[in-house]
Amino acid sequence: MKTYQKIYLLLIERQDYISGEEIAQELGVSRTSVWKAIRQLEMHGLTIEAARNRGYKLVEGDLLLPDVIAKTLQIPVYIKADSDSTQLDAKQGIENGHPSPALYLAPHQNKAKGRFGRPFYTSKSGGIYMSLRLSPNVPFLEFKPYTILVAAAVVKAIQELSNLDVQIKWVNDIYLGKKKVAGILTEAISSMESQTITDVIIGVGINVHIDDFPKELKETAGNLFEDQPPFTRNQLITAIWQAFFHTDERELIALYKEKSLVVGQQVSFVENNVTFKGTAIAVTDTGNLVIQLDNGKAKMISSGEISLSSWTDH
């Protein structure tokens, strides 16, 4: 672990001022090394207060620590400081022969994409951007509903670490109130020859504590916290994937249904250039949405987007 990472852990542990001399003695480094490490932490977006005769204190922000996450999850964790997209990083990992499962992190993404290839805003600090690569090697019909499983794991982790009442907008968005705070993108890699899904890459983006949303997103995008969060991003990342790996799938599916933002609501969607309206009445165990159309017929959709009639869709 690098000096600036060790100093970050000391600051987190102390939660108060710690002198440069004490840090230097604790880590066995020079005062100059301490000063340089503090500058590095500030470059990573942390706010550190320096007071004469008192030392340094962490005021705001946190630092991603892949080694700590990897140790807890017992899987490889890779981080790329200048990442275009963690989805692309995971695909590159496949080409490079990385083991599976593996987690790919980035403090920021230069060319992040959401569903349907849309640009996805990522901040320089305060967000979580990660992709999990799995290698299920299963027939097409046995492919698990990874999007809803991960969405439920995100909700479970947030609930375990805070009292926030987050909900899920079918199929892949997490909302706090009427603002989107997280999104999930699942990509499958298949072998047509063997008719199997060989790999799946699940991307997750979470607005934990971001203060630089573009003007055009301020009405639709939100944060989990407007002030310093009560937990670190490392803790949330770890809790999400622990929930995903170690929670019974039936429990995650039940949680997804329980936290649905759309079941019981009036919705509309477009299919083959035709607009349908009705009431969302259920989410199936495979993640399909069942809608009772206004004409009395029931329709099940497995992909696409829906709009909530009760409030402006985000």
Give tens-digit pLDDT for 147-204. 999 999 999 999 999 989 999 999 999 999 999 999 999 999 999 889 999 999 999 9
Establish if 20 belongs to a structural domain.
yes
Q: Stretch 57-74: mean pLDDT, rounded?
A: 95
Same domain for 178 and 74: yes
Residue 288: give its domain's CATH number.
Answer: 2.30.30.100
Residue 220 has what pLDDT? Answer: 85
pLDDT band at 218 (very low <50, low <70, confident <90, very high): confident
Asked if residue 314 has pLDDT above 60, the reply is no
The torsion defined by the Cα of 24, 25, 27 and 29, in degrees rounded to 10, comes to 50
Same domain for 278 and 250: no
Same domain for 124 and 144: yes
Asked if 201 contacts 186 with a C-beta cutoff of 8 angstroms, the reply is: yes
Q: Stretch 41-63: mean pLDDT, rounded?
A: 93
Same domain for 215 and 87: yes
Contacts of range 47-56, beta carbons closer than 8 Å, 24 or more positions apart: 48/11, 49/17, 51/17, 54/17, 54/19, 55/17, 55/18, 55/19, 55/20, 55/21, 55/22, 55/23, 56/11, 56/17, 56/18, 56/19, 56/20, 56/23
Q: Into how many domains does the chain fold?
A: 3
Residue 92 has what pLDDT? Answer: 97
Same domain for 194 and 273: no
For the record, the structure tokens of 52 come out as 């004469």
Same domain for 243 and 131: yes
Same domain for 104 and 23: no
Parent domain of 299: 266-308
pLDDT band at 97 (very low <50, low <70, confident <90, very high): very high
Give tens-digit pLDDT for 222-264. 999 998 899 999 999 999 999 999 999 999 999 999 999 999 9
Residue 83: give its domain's CATH number.
Answer: 3.30.930.10
Establish if 282 belongs to a structural domain.
yes
Establish if 47 belongs to a structural domain.
yes
Same domain for 276 and 129: no
Overall pTM > 0.85: yes
Establish if 313 belongs to a structural domain.
no
Asked if 88 contacts 61 with a C-beta cutoff of 8 angstroms, the reply is: no
pLDDT band at 117 (very low <50, low <70, confident <90, very high): low
Establish if 314 belongs to a structural domain.
no
- Phi first, then psi, for residue 166 (nearest 5°) are -85, 150
Asked if residue 111 has pLDDT above 90, the reply is no
Same domain for 169 and 301: no
Give tens-digit pLDDT for 202-214. 999 999 998 888 8
Place of tokens 């000096």: 3
Establish if 136 belongs to a structural domain.
yes
Same domain for 249 and 273: no
Same domain for 184 and 282: no
Establish if 148 belongs to a structural domain.
yes
Same domain for 177 and 294: no
Asked if residue 119 has pLDDT above 70, the reply is no
Residue 18: give its domain's CATH number.
Answer: 1.10.10.10
Domain-ending residue, one of 60, 93, 108: 60
Q: Stretch 267-293: mean pLDDT, rounded?
A: 92
Q: How far is CA 39 from CA 92, 209, 252, 297, in A?
A: 32, 21, 42, 63
Establish if 125 belongs to a structural domain.
yes
